[in-house]
Amino acid sequence: MILIDGKKTAEEIRKEISVEAKRIFEKRGSRPHLAAILVGHDGGSETYVAHKVKDCQEVGFDSTLVRFEDNVSEDELLEKIRELNINPLIDGIIVQLPLPKHINEQKVIESIDFRKDVDGFHPVNVGRMVIGLPAYISATPQGIVELLKRYRITTAGKTCVVVGRSNIVGRPLSILLSMKGEPGDCTVIVCHSRTPNIEHFTLQADILVAALGKPKFIKANMVKQGAVVIDVGTTRVPEASAKNGWKLTGDVDFNEVASKCSYITPVPGGVGPMTRVGLLYNTLLAASKKIYQ
C-alpha cells in the first residue's frame, strides 16, 4: 500500500507556482492578485479564508480580503463584485461559501466575471470544462486529478466510482475522469444518497473516490483488493483528547481499508492540501492570461 502524500505534493506545486509568480512580476510589474470576499464570522469560513490569504503570501501573490457583516444586503455584495470585476489589478475573485440565507448564492457566483472566477464555479467555466475547453476547474477535483498524475496512477480503462455528486467535488470529478485522455478515459459510476446497495458499485471500483461527508462511511467490505482510494471527506468529529476538541475525519475508515488498497490518501494530509494549491494554480492561470485574454 502506498500512502499518497498530498502535503508533500502540494509543497512541490507551491514551489513551481512561486517560480511562475516571480516571472509574472518581472514581466508585468505586479504580482498575481486574488480578492477574497468573506461574509460574517463563521469559524470554518474564517479559517479557510485565512489559509487562502496566507497561501497567497507564501507563493508571492498579492491578496485583498473584503469583509462584510452577516447582514450585508445582496445588492451591496453584488456591487462589490462588480467593482472587483472591472479592477484591472485583480486577477481572481472568490466568495467564501456558504453565504447567509438571505443572499442568493447562485446569483453571486454568476455575478463574478468568469475570466476571474478562480474557484471555477461559474456556469461558463463548468460548461467549458464539460466539453473539454480550457477553463478554471474547481480546486478539489483538479487537486485529485493532479495527485493521480503525479503518482503516475493510470486511469485509462479503469472503473472509477465517485460517491457524492456535489457541484464542487463529485460531479466535476466524475466528468474529468470520464474525459478523453489521461488522466481520464475511466468508466465512471456516480453514487449518491439515493443509490441502493452502494457496496455493489464501490466493489467494482479500481479507483474509489469518497466525497459524501459521512465519517468512516467506506468500510473494508466495500473496497476491492488493490483499489486506489481517494478520501475527500473532512468532517470535524468531536474528540475530547484533541487540542481543539475535534478531529478531522475522512469518509473512509482508514484503519480498516488501507491494507486492501494499492494507494490511499490520508485525512488530513491527502486531498485537503491539494485543494488549497488548486486555488493558487487557478489564480496563476488568471494572471498569466492562459485561459482567457
- Residue 172 and residue 126 in contact, taking contact as beta carbons nearer than 8 Å: yes
Report the phi/psi class of residue 207: left, alpha or beta, with left for phi > 0 and alpha for psi in -120 to 50: beta
In the residue annotation, 119 being an active-site residue is answered as yes
Does 52 contact ligand NAP by CB under 6 A?
Answer: no
Q: Annotated catalytic residue: which of 96, 116, 251, 253?
A: 96
Does 272 contact ligand NAP by CB under 6 A?
Answer: yes
> Minimum distance from CB of 276 to ligand NAP (Å)?
7
Q: Annotated catalytic residue: which of 62, 91, 117, 119?
A: 119
The one-letter amino acid at 21: A
Q: Which of 193, 259 has the CB closer to ligand NAP?
A: 193
> Minimum distance from CB of 209 to ligand NAP (Å)?
10
Does 192 contact ligand NAP by CB under 6 A?
Answer: yes
Q: Which of 96, 234 has the CB closer to ligand NAP?
A: 234
Write out the three cell numbers for 182. 489521461
Query: Please, what is the angle between helix 170-178 and helix 123-130, to 10°?
Result: 30
> Minimum distance from CB of 71 to ligand NAP (Å)?
26
Does 194 contact ligand NAP by CB under 6 A?
Answer: yes
Q: Annotated catalytic residue: which of 5, 52, 206, 253?
A: 52
Q: What is the DSSP letter of 252?
A: B
> Minimum distance from CB of 25 to ligand NAP (Å)?
28
**C-alpha 204: how far from chain center:** 25
In the residue annotation, 96 being an active-site residue is answered as yes
Q: Which of 32, 164 has the CB closer to ligand NAP?
A: 164
Does 35 contact ligand NAP by CB under 6 A?
Answer: no
Q: Which 220-239 positions form the footprint of ligand NAP (CB under 6 A)?
A: 232-235
Angle at 45 between CA 73 and CA 35, to 5 degrees: 70
> Minimum distance from CB of 18 to ligand NAP (Å)?
21
Q: Which of 150, 214 has the CB closer to ligand NAP?
A: 214
> Minimum distance from CB of 107 to ligand NAP (Å)?
19
Q: Which 160-179 positions form the footprint of ligand NAP (CB under 6 A)?
A: 163-166, 168-170
In the residue annotation, 142 being an active-site residue is answered as no
End-to-end CA distance of the chain: 44
Q: Which of 62, 251 has the CB closer to ligand NAP?
A: 251
Angle at 244 between CA 240 and CA 247, to 5 degrees: 65
Angle at 21 between CA 19 and CA 24, to 5 degrees: 115
Q: Where are the alpha helices (DSSP H) in the chain?
A: 6-28, 43-59, 74-86, 105-111, 123-130, 139-150, 170-178, 198-202, 254-257, 271-287
Residues in the chain: 293
Cα–Cα distance, 230 to 263 (Å, whole number):
8
Judged by the rule CB under 6 A, the positions of this chain that interact with ligand NAP are 140, 163-166, 168-170, 191-195, 198, 211-214, 232-235, 271-272, 275
